Amino acid sequence: MDKLEKVAREAALRAGELQKSRLGKIKSLDYKSAFNIVTDVDKASEALIIETLTQEFPDACFLAEESGESGSKSGRRWIIDPLDGTTNFAHSYPFFCVSIACEEDGQVVLGVVYNAVASEMFVAAKGQGATLNGEKINVSMRTSLETSLLATGFPPDTLKSVHHNMDSFRAITNMCHGVRRDGSAALDLCFVASGRLDGFWERKLSAWDVAAGALIVEEAGGKVSNLEDGPLDMMSGHILATNGKIHAEVVKALAASRTETVAS
């Protein structure tokens, strides 16, 4: 294991343990917008992660959800969601994680996602496969949407958006075994990587939601794209991740459901 991975794992572990110890014990809760919340634990987790990474990499540069861009402009950038699944966390619903990605010259080379409640650490390094608690993971073998289990998510301003995703949620629910909405995009991506889900899509995510998880899916043998099967643009935040085998079918289903929205 190289130093980059070792330090990222350590940062995720520290923040994850903090989250586990503070579950049900939030000290403050603020609103970024009507339904978009942030707690003192989001902020403390982010500070802990940045401190841990900076200790070992003093010239580090960051893009982190709560503090934005910071650090020196170097060729390496850490993309951090200190607590993905804040709404779950705030309600003591135990499905949330820490997500840390490392980007070098514009390419994500390392992804670490840690679910402290389940003691599950997902890791992928570019070109080296993906692991869960050190064991290699692979995407599922399912070849049809009809027999698949998927997940999706909704932004906090769901119904204000033209493309609010309810149309796709409804349509695809009727085409497969089910569509889960579990409230942590990074964990949803890791569940695709480990074959627990066959696919995941969401609109309007942020780079920190997907940077680590997208690499973990790819390194587990899956496919990641935008919703039209083009290259993923982390800044646009529209993502489809599948086991690869059902990708084309989901792209088609998403396109059909969006046409329904525009027509109605």
Q: Which of 110, 116, 172, 185 binds ligand IPD (CB under 6 A)?
A: 185
Which window, 8-16, 85-93, 166-174, 248-256, contacts ligand IPD (CB under 6 A)?
A: 85-93
The one-letter amino acid code at 36 reads: N
Instruction: Give the Cα separation of 54 and 48 in Å (integer).
Output: 10
* CA-based nearest residue to 86, from 194, 206, 166: 206
202 binds Ca ion (CB under 5 A): no
Q: Which of 16, 71, 111, 183 binds ligand IPD (CB under 6 A)?
A: 183
Q: Which of 16, 71, 85, 222 binds ligand IPD (CB under 6 A)?
A: 85
Nearest-approach distance from CB 89 to ligand IPD, in angstroms? 8
Determine the distance from the C-alpha atom of residue 1 to the mean position of all C-alpha atoms in its chain, rounded to a whole number: 23
CB of 153 or CB of 244, closer to Ca ion: 153
Which window, 101-109, 115-123, 179-187, 214-222, contacts ligand IPD (CB under 6 A)?
A: 179-187
Q: CA dist 254 to 42, 103, 142, 201, 227, Å?
A: 33, 29, 19, 9, 7
Residue 205 interacts with, from ligand IPD, Ca ion, none (CB under 5-8 Å by kind):
ligand IPD
Residue 15 CB contacts under 8 Å (≥ 6 apart), including other chains: 45, 46, 48, 49, 82, 83, 98, 114
Contact 5, 128 (CB under 8 A): no
* CA-based nearest residue to 217, from 136, 151, 130, 150: 130
Which window, 88-96, 123-131, 134-142, 202-210, contacts Ca ion (CB under 5 A)?
A: 202-210
Which window, 107-115, 130-138, 178-186, 228-236, contacts ligand IPD (CB under 6 A)?
A: 178-186
Residues 64-103 that bind Ca ion (CB under 5 A): 65, 81, 83-84
46 binds Ca ion (CB under 5 A): no
Residue 52 CB contacts under 8 Å (≥ 6 apart), including other chains: 7, 10, 11, 14
Q: What are phi and psi of 181, to 5 degrees?
A: -130, 95
Residues 193-252 that bind ligand IPD (CB under 6 A): 202, 205, 209
Q: Which of 188, 209, 218, 249 binds Ca ion (CB under 5 A)?
A: 209
- Which residues lie near ligand IPD (CB under 6 A)? 81, 84-87, 153-155, 183-185, 202, 205, 209
